[in-house]
Amino acid sequence: MERAEFERLVGRAMESLPLEFQAKLENVDIVVEQWPTTAQLRQARAKTPGQLLGLYQGVPQTRRGRGYGLVLPDKISIFQKPIEAQCRFDYEIEVRIGEVVRHEIAHHFGLGEEALRKIGREKRRRK
């Protein structure tokens, strides 16, 4: 998939977020990168580049105190090639991008990996 099309799908995923979440996204840059760097893999404790689909780097809103200010934006990286490698069809890519975007934004709002896993298990159980 062309990078411009992938970026368009990331934009659509952002636009599909509920308005109350969009309004509360503060000081965050969303970027598309081809592959994670070695440093990003290390931060995420991922063994291979294909494992890491997205990464939140920053200070979650739940940990921002009065002194929070004049800081660089948080960064959410969406990794194109690992997402494409996990999807067999183009329509699956858009679905996966949406999942990854929501997952990384949940980190921005203060949810950790264990909480997100629990939510995912409950969601699968209800289906």
Domains of the chain by residue range: 3-126
Residue 69 has pLDDT above 80, yes or no: no
31 touches 104 (CB < 8 A): no
Type of residue found at 104: E
CATH 1.25.40.10 fits 3-126, yes or no: no
Mean pLDDT of 33-49: 95
More confident residue, 26 or 90: 90
Using only C-alpha atoms, the chain has a radius of gyration, in whole angstroms, of 15
**How would residue 123 be classed by pLDDT, with cut points 50, 70 and 90?**
confident
Residue 121: what pLDDT? 75
Q: Taking all residues of the chain, what is their mean pLDDT, rounded to a whole number?
A: 91
Query: Helix, strand, or coil here: 74?
Result: strand
- Tell if the pTM clears 0.85, that is, is over it: yes
Residue 51: what pLDDT? 95
